[in-house]
Copies of this chain bind each other. A is one copy, B any other.
Amino acid sequence: MSSSLEITAEIISIGDELLIGQTMNTNAGWMGEQLSLIGIRPVRVRVIGDDREAILTALSTSTADVVLLTGGLGPTKDDITKQVLCEFFDTRLVRHPHIEAAIAGFFRSIAREPLDVNLAQADLPESCTVVPNDRGTASGMWFGKESRVFVSMPGVPYEMKAMMEKHVLPELRRVFNPPSIVHRTLLTTGLGESHLAQRIAAWEDSLAQEGIKLAYLPSPGLVKLRLSTYANNDPTGARDRVAQKAEQLYRLIPELIFGEGEERLELVVGRLLKENGQTLSTAESCTGGYVSHLITSVPGSSAYFIGGVVSYANAVKMEELGIPSDMLELNGAVSQPVVERMAQGVRQALKTDWSIALSGVAGPDGGTDEKPVGTVWMAVAGPDGVQAAKVYLPGTRDLVIKRSALAVLNMLRKSLLIRDLGKS
């Protein structure tokens, strides 16, 4: 499977709490992703306890070019990684005075005196290169051994990630000069993985001749499309090739792509509203506040989000949103007239430029033959009136809520874009 030219990596996660499921091992997946993004292939992850023999076995049976360890660098007596590394690399701990001073300074900054065990974090193996920890007191350690590299980092994700991004990944690129890879990730919503694949099949077939690979990365309500190619000695050419294919995809499925990279739909919508100086309100039934939670999870969202109504009972739909009782009786709460009136009602009540509304059957109970669980009516009201759409997104209660929230945010995004186009 692996070519002999590939640079390989192995991750060793150390900690009893990982083995017994007390702490989820999120580090290994993140590190694997980061390594593969710079062209180093992760081939194995091992999770072991804070146990001398287990650590020694893992170190001595590793064969990858790069071995990254996390965990076991804390100040308590279970944390033995540093001692075991000394044993494996046949070196000894030495005190680093400037690190000791930094640790003491950190503790005084939070008005505490450092204990001896805290200062002992400045004891580091003599033969390693110290990797600075900008977010904590446990330093990283970089060991070279016969053209291979071993790096030990703290297990706290926030500290490890900063250390990887700032020091370890750049240094690995410098040392191994892995075949550079150009990536671009387009974010889509509105079509499931298999239907999306069908829709873009011809385009996907055309990627091979450009040496571009495509990965589908699905999550509830979203499919990320990751394009990647080797840059070889022509990074500009590689970027251009990927850009050309991305451009074709934008023309092919413009309504499905909402952003790139780490973008989220609620950020995109927020940015569009902010750019236009416009405001938003929400009226939610089946999603029960989840849409407004997504919107307000964005820092600064108070600039455009005015508020919302969660109208779980029909009485609230009538009183707060001005929906006539005969409309509810005639059509049922999950219907086009009701969801349109919900959107218009909240837009008027909260005096916003835009509003969104949802009414659906989240389940597990309440489904009928005509309106099974997963049936959701959604509406967007704006300066040009109101429009509604029905979607069918079956699944667990949690999935119905999450997928319909993304669907209505995407509907709003399209309405905002169309109006922008109309103005220009």
* A binding-site residues for B, Cβ under 8 Å: 1, 18-26, 28-34, 36, 42-49, 51, 54, 61, 215, 217, 282, 284, 287-293, 295-297, 299-302, 305-313, 315-316, 319-320, 349-351, 362-365, 397-398, 401
What's the Cα separation between A296 and B397 when bound, in Å? 10
CB distance from A274 to the nearest CB of B (A): 14
Pick from B25, B292, B300, B364: contact of A310, CB under 8 Å: B292
Partner of A315, one of B292, B316, B351: B351
Of the A-B pairs whose beta carbons lie under 8 Å apart in the complex, a sample of 15, sorted by A's number, is A20-B36, A24-B26, A24-B29, A43-B54, A45-B48, A287-B293, A289-B291, A296-B362, A296-B401, A305-B312, A306-B313, A307-B309, A307-B316, A307-B320, A310-B310
Specify which chain B residues have a CB less than 8 angstroms from the CB of A282 in the assembled complex: 289, 310
Contacts of A365 in B (CB 8 A): 299-300
Q: Which 5 A-B pairs have the closest CB atoms?
A: A288-B296, A21-B33, A289-B292, A289-B289, A45-B47
Please name all residues of chain B whose beta carbon is closer than 8 Å to the beta carbon of A25 when the two chains form the complex: 25, 28-29, 45
CB pair B310 A302 closer than 8 Å: no
List B contacts of A20 (CB < 8 A). Answer: 32-33, 36, 42
Name the contact of A36 in the complex, choosing from B21, B36, B307 (C-beta under 8 A): B21
When distances are taken between beta carbons in the complex, the residues of chain B under 8 Å from A302 are: 312-313
A47-B44, A306-B313 known; A293 vs B297 contact (CB < 8 Å): no
CB of A34, distance to nearest CB on chain B (Å) = 8
In the complex formed, the residue of B with least CB distance to A9 is B19
A39 to B: closest C-beta gap in Å: 12
Kindly state the separation between the CA atoms of A43 and B61 in the bound complex, as whole angstroms.
16
Kindly state the separation between the CA atoms of A18 and B25 in the bound complex, as whole angstroms: 12
- Indicate whether A32 sits within 8 Å of B45 (C-beta atoms), given known contacts A297-B288, A310-B296: no
Q: Which of A30, A44, A310 has the most CB of B within 10 A?
A: A310
Write the chain B residue with the least CB distance to A285: B307
**Distance, CA A266 to CA B401, complexed state (A):** 17
Q: How many Å from the CB of A51 to the closest CB on chain B? A: 5
Pairwise interchain contact A320-B292, C-beta atoms closer than 8 A? no
A398 and B293 CA atoms in complex are apart in Å by 10
Given contacts A21-B29, A284-B289, A288-B296, 19 further A-B contacts (CB under 8 A): A1-B49, A18-B29, A19-B42, A19-B44, A21-B32, A22-B33, A23-B29, A25-B29, A43-B54, A44-B47, A289-B310, A292-B310, A296-B312, A299-B365, A306-B312, A306-B316, A309-B309, A315-B351, A320-B320
A27 to chain B, nearest CB (A): 10
Q: How far is the CA of A284 from the CA of B302 in the complex (A)?
A: 13
Q: Please, how many angstroms separate the alpha-carbon atoms of A349 and B310 in the complex? A: 13
Q: Which residue of B lies closest to A21 (CB)?
A: B33
**Chain B residue contacts of A43, Cβ below 8 A:** 19, 48-49, 54
Taken together as a complex, chains A and B put the C-alpha atoms of A311 and B302 apart, in Å, by 10
Cβ-defined contact, B299 with A288, below 8 A: no
CB closest residue in chain B, given A397: B299
Given A19-B45, A288-B293, are A312 and B316 neighbors across the interface (CB < 8 Å)?
no
Question: Which residues of B sit under 8 angstroms from A31, Cβ to Cβ?
Answer: 21
Q: A299-B365, A306-B312 are in contact. Are A46 and B46 (CB under 8 A)?
A: yes
Please name the residue on chain B nearest to A313 by beta carbon.
B306
Say yes or no: A54 contacts B49, CB within 8 Å: no
Chain B residues near A363: list those with CB within 8 A: 299
CB neighbours (8 Å) of A29 from chain B are 18, 21, 23-25
Is the Cβ of A309 less than 8 Å from the Cβ of B312?
no
Which of B18, B24, B217, B364 meets A22, CB within 8 Å? B217
Q: Give Cα A26–Cα B25 distance, bound, in whole angstroms.
A: 8
A20→B45 CA distance, assembly (Å): 10
Residues in B whose Cβ lies below 8 Å from that of A307: 309-313, 316, 320
CA gap between A305 and B312 in the complex, in Å: 7
Q: Give, as a whole number of angstroms, the nearest-CB distance from A130 to chain B.
A: 27
